[in-house]
Amino acid sequence: MHITKTSKSFTNDQFNWSEYFSENRHSYVLTNDDIIEMIPRVRSYLTESPNLMALILTKLLKRLLKNYSIPENPNILELGAGTGTLTRWLITRYGGKGMLVDNNENSYQAYKNTNHELIDDMDIFYTINDIFSFETHNTFDIVGSFGLIEHFKDKTEVLNAHKKFLKKDGIILLLVPCDTFLSRVYWDLHPELNHGYRELLTAEELSEIAAQNNLKKIDVLKSDGYVYDFLAGLFTLAS
Amino acid sequence: MSARKEIRRFIEDSLKKMRKEVTFSDSDNIFEQKIVNSLFSMRLINFLEKTYHITIEESDLIEKNFSSIDNIISFLTRKNISTQP
CB B47 within 8 Å of CB B10 = yes
pLDDT digits (tens, 9 = 90+) for A142-161: 999 999 999 999 999 999 99
> What confidence score (pLDDT) does residue B68 get?
95
- CB spacing of B63 vs A59 below 8 angstroms: no
Question: Among residues A74, A201, A65, which one has the least CA distance to residue A143?
Answer: A74
CB B43 within 8 Å of CB A118 = yes
Question: Among residues B49, B46, B4, which one has the least CA distance to residue B27?
Answer: B4
> What confidence score (pLDDT) does residue A10 get?
65
CA distance B14 to B33: 16
CA distance A160 to A154: 11
Rounded to 5 degrees, φ, ψ at B45 are -60, -45
pLDDT digits (tens, 9 = 90+) for A180-222: 999 999 999 998 888 789 999 999 999 999 999 999 999 999 9
pLDDT digits (tens, 9 = 90+) for A60-94: 999 999 989 999 999 999 999 999 999 999 999 99
> What confidence score (pLDDT) does residue A22 get?
53
- CB spacing of A92 vs B46 below 8 angstroms: yes
CA distance A102 to A3: 43
Q: How many whole angstroms from its chain centre is CA B39?
A: 13
Task: List Cα–Cα distances, B58 to A90, A198, B63, in angstroms.
Answer: 17, 29, 12
Which of A47, A48, A55, A112 to probe the B interface (max B CBs under 10 A)? A55
Q: How many angstroms separate the CA of residue A96 from the nearest CA in chain B?
A: 15
CB A16 within 8 Å of CB A25 = yes
Give the nearest chain B residue to A56 (CA atoms): B61
Which whole number is the average pLDDT over A40-64? 93
- CB spacing of B37 vs A58 below 8 angstroms: no
- CB spacing of B38 vs A93 below 8 angstroms: no
- CB spacing of A54 vs B41 below 8 angstroms: yes
Order the strands of the A215-222 sheet from edge to edge. A123-128, A97-102, A75-79, A140-146, A166-177, A230-237, A215-222
- A-to-B residue pairs, Cβ atoms closer than 8 angstroms: 61
pLDDT digits (tens, 9 = 90+) for A19-45: 655 556 666 677 888 889 999 999 999
Q: Which residues of A touch B19 (CB under 8 A)?
A: 117
Specify the amino acid at residue B2: S
Q: How many angstroms separate the CA of residue B45 from the nearest CA in chain A?
A: 9
- CB spacing of A55 vs B41 below 8 angstroms: yes
Q: Which residues of A touch B41 (CB under 8 A)?
A: 50-51, 54-55, 58
Q: Which residues of A touch B40 (CB under 8 A)?
A: 115, 118
> What confidence score (pLDDT) does residue A175 get?
98
> What confidence score (pLDDT) does residue A20 get?
59
- CB spacing of B43 vs A118 below 8 angstroms: yes
> What confidence score (pLDDT) does residue A182 get?
97
Q: What value of ipTM does the predicted structure carry?
A: 0.83
Q: Which residues of B touch A63 (CB under 8 A)?
A: 58
Q: What is the mean pLDDT of chain A?
A: 90
Terminal-residue alpha carbon distance, chain B: 5
Which whole number is the average pLDDT over A168-177? 97
> What confidence score (pLDDT) does residue A25 get?
64
- CB spacing of B58 vs A59 below 8 angstroms: yes
Give the nearest chain B residue to A50 (CA atoms): B38
Q: Which residues of B touch A87 (CB under 8 A)?
A: none
> What confidence score (pLDDT) does residue B80 get?
87
pLDDT digits (tens, 9 = 90+) for A103-141: 999 999 988 887 666 666 789 999 999 999 999 999 999
pLDDT digits (tens, 9 = 90+) for B12-54: 988 887 777 788 999 999 888 877 878 888 889 999 999 999 9
Q: How confident is the model at residue A1 (pLDDT cuts 50, 70, 90)?
A: confident
- CB spacing of B37 vs A53 below 8 angstroms: no
> What confidence score (pLDDT) does residue A23 get?
57
Q: Which residues of A touch B36 (CB under 8 A)?
A: 51
Task: List Cα–Cα distances, B73 to A87, B38, B65, B84, in angstroms.
Answer: 29, 20, 9, 10
- CB spacing of A51 vs B43 below 8 angstroms: no
